Chains A and B, each alone.
Chain A
Amino acid sequence: MNFIALKMLFGDRAKYLGIVIGLTFASLLITQQSAIFAGMMTRTFSFLSDVALPDIWVVDPQVKYIDDIRPMQDTEVLRVRGVEGVQWAVPLYKGSLAMRRTDGTYQSCVVIGLDDETLMGGPPTMVIGKLSDLRRSGGVIVDATGAAGKLAHIQPDGTRVSLKVGDEMEINDNHSVVVGICKVTQTFQANPVIYTTYSSATSFAPSQRLLLSFVTVKAKPGQDLNALCRRIEKATGLRAYTRDEFKMVTFLYYLQYTGMPINFLTAVALGFLVGVAISGQTFYNFTLDNLRYFGTLKAMGAKNGMLLRMILLQALVVGGVGYGLGVGAASAWGMLISGRTQLAFRLPWHLLVVSAVAVLVICLSSAALSIHKVMKLEPAVVFRS
């Protein structure tokens, strides 16, 4: 009966295409919006992803997420180093400072100050130059996207010239020189990222009593990281997170305190509803159009179980095709757009599963209506003209 089911489905091309287009659109919208949401949420803790070496991040107890900087005293580094199980602990500065362009305009930048001795916490990939060049006086490493974009020189004719090694710039009225170009994971705010030493960063920053943003910690081998966090907290009165904990805290903060989840959930729900409305309705109409033939098959000896399997097969086939096209289109769109723009797009396998489940629910709910109709169909209907 699968043969007849598929011939019936493909035979009505207009409805088949209508159902597939509806499901493709739903799958595309659900996958694309979820992937953008996932991409944006990943960017909220991109700094934590880029700084891979430390096991533990020590922050002020009031800090709620990675960008919530509550400066601490520099001496906290020494206190953390004194905790049993700590292999090393180094200071890290993170702040938003204004960079003055050659045309006199200002651009807000994320400035990262690395420990002067170890340069721990540097960018994940160097494109030009090397990390040790930061030790040159006023040396900074600029992220490639920022160098080519927001920090680029704007020529009198309007063309942009990327910032390059050797270019000079002013950060908060302090002279600095570009010594390298790096690649970083895009930040949530999408501001350019500038790396320098801790001492340079704190000299660039406005004068204030407290400047230390984080103490990053490497645990000795074999240490239970959670237990070490608790020991650091007990010894210093600060808050210590493992890297994954800090990512989750940041993720949950954005989830809870921004409207992003609701916005994206609305778009995903819209995709789902569009799928149900267009595909569900068209699939049901397809069944209604074929009701006479389902009745004929029933009269000729097709049991309800056979007809149920026929309808389920039809629903799963259109679901599979629509899902494949939708996910394919979303992936292609993501690759095309995110390569050329700063759009956040992340498509892990979990989202593919979520999208598949959503499409499956649409198909099965559409099929359920059709199945109900066909199951209740009296075979005697075949004799009614």
Chain B
Amino acid sequence: MSATINGTTQEARVAVNCKELTKTFGTGNAAVKALRGVNLEVRSGELLMLVGPSGCGKTTLISVIAGVLRRDEGDCKIFDQDYNRMSEDDTTEFRGVNIGFVFQAFNLIPSLTTAENVGTPLIINGMKPRAAVSKAREILVQVGFDERMMSSLPTDLSGGQQQRVAIARALVHQPRLIVCDEPTSALDGETGHKIMELLHTLGRGEGRALVVVTHDSRIYEFADRIAAMEDGRITQVVDSASQLKPMQKKTD
């Protein structure tokens, strides 16, 4: 039986639990082992950064965690749910309700206004567009947008503003896990810092877990824990950047 802490079971406090996770792309001589037995736990309410050199498997790992890519072997449970036991449609529906995404290139739909972009996850989950946009406006206020900016198209916004929209979009449907792929790599240092402050403040609310893939060592300070990857394996998990041992391959 699991222990209870403040009315929540200990298992429920674990957002992501991966054991001996493997993933190989291609076959035969062309096969590339992207994940070679990854063990990782992400707790609810924490911001975990996934760092490592290019090609070490970070993006593959968050793809598996986010349910956009099927693993080959091992276990991976997201809030006690296993994607490999779900149908394709159930996996998609689970993602729609439980996962928020922040992408390196923002991926905002250029023909939708800021508020409409933010309301998209709600529309996907069945909310009427008018109600979704109304709800989106509420969260856009929290990321510092005024009425004029809410009606702007993404192309009218700066990179930092676009990423704030992307964060609002990731949060609007109150998912339990947010995965961020290089959220600051397209931004200057100061803007990247502000974006991370926003993610740190808003993203971790309501016991939400965040997994942030990054190369940017300037934002390590926002991490509750840092998991370093090399050659498809988690080589160390530390509480702060100062505890990170030098990697064999340098990060980009």
Contacts and interface: CB of A to CB of B under 8 A. Distances in A.
Interface stretch (A4-12, A25-33, A137-145): A4-12
11 contacts: A1-B123, A4-B109, A296-B101, A299-B95, A302-B92, A304-B88, A378-B69, A383-B62, A383-B63, A383-B181, A385-B105
Interface string A300-323: 111110100000000000000000
| A293, A299, A382 interface centre (most CB from chain B within 10 Å) | A299
Contact of B109 (A293, A298, A303, A384): A293
A336 interface: no
Contact of A303 (B93, B104, B110): B93
Contact of A297 (B103, B120, B129): B120
Contacts of A296: 101, 103, 107, 109
Secondary structure at chain A's binding surface: helix, strand, loop or mixed? helix
Given A11-B111, A303-B92, A382 B103 contact: yes
Contacts of B59: 383-384
Contacts of A299: 66, 68, 95, 101
A301 B68 contact: no
Given A296-B103, A379-B68, A383-B63, A301 B124 contact: yes
B120 A382 contact: no
Given A11-B111, A383-B68, 10 more contacts: A10-B111, A11-B110, A296-B101, A301-B125, A302-B92, A303-B92, A378-B68, A378-B69, A379-B69, A382-B107
Nearest to B62: A383
A116 B189 CA distance: 104
A306 B110 CA distance: 20
A11 B96 CA distance: 25
Interface of B: 59, 62-63, 66, 68-69, 88-89, 92-93, 95-97, 99, 101, 103-105, 107, 109-112, 116, 120-121, 123-125, 129, 181-182
Nearest to A295: B107
A7 B92 contact: no
Contacts of A257: none
A380 interface: yes
A8 B111 contact: yes
B63 A298 contact: no
A301 B112 contact: no
B35 to A, nearest CB: 13
A380 B95 CA distance: 12
Contacts of B66: 299
Nearest to B182: A385
Interface in A350-385: 378-380, 382-385
Interface of A: 1, 3-4, 7-8, 10-12, 292-293, 296-304, 306, 378-380, 382-385
Nearest to B98: A301
Contacts of B125: 301
Contact of A300 (B69, B101, B182): B101
A7 B116 contact: yes
B123 A301 contact: no
A297 B120 CA distance: 8
A297 B68 CA distance: 12
Nearest to B128: A3
Nearest to A379: B68
Contact of B104 (A3, A306, A385): A385
A4 B92 contact: no
Interface centre among A1, A302, A378 (most CB of B within 10 A): A302
B159 to A, nearest CB: 14
B181 A300 contact: no
B111 A7 contact: yes
A378 B67 CA distance: 11
Which 3 A-B residue pairs are closest in the complex by CB-CB distance? Answer: A301-B96, A11-B111, A379-B68
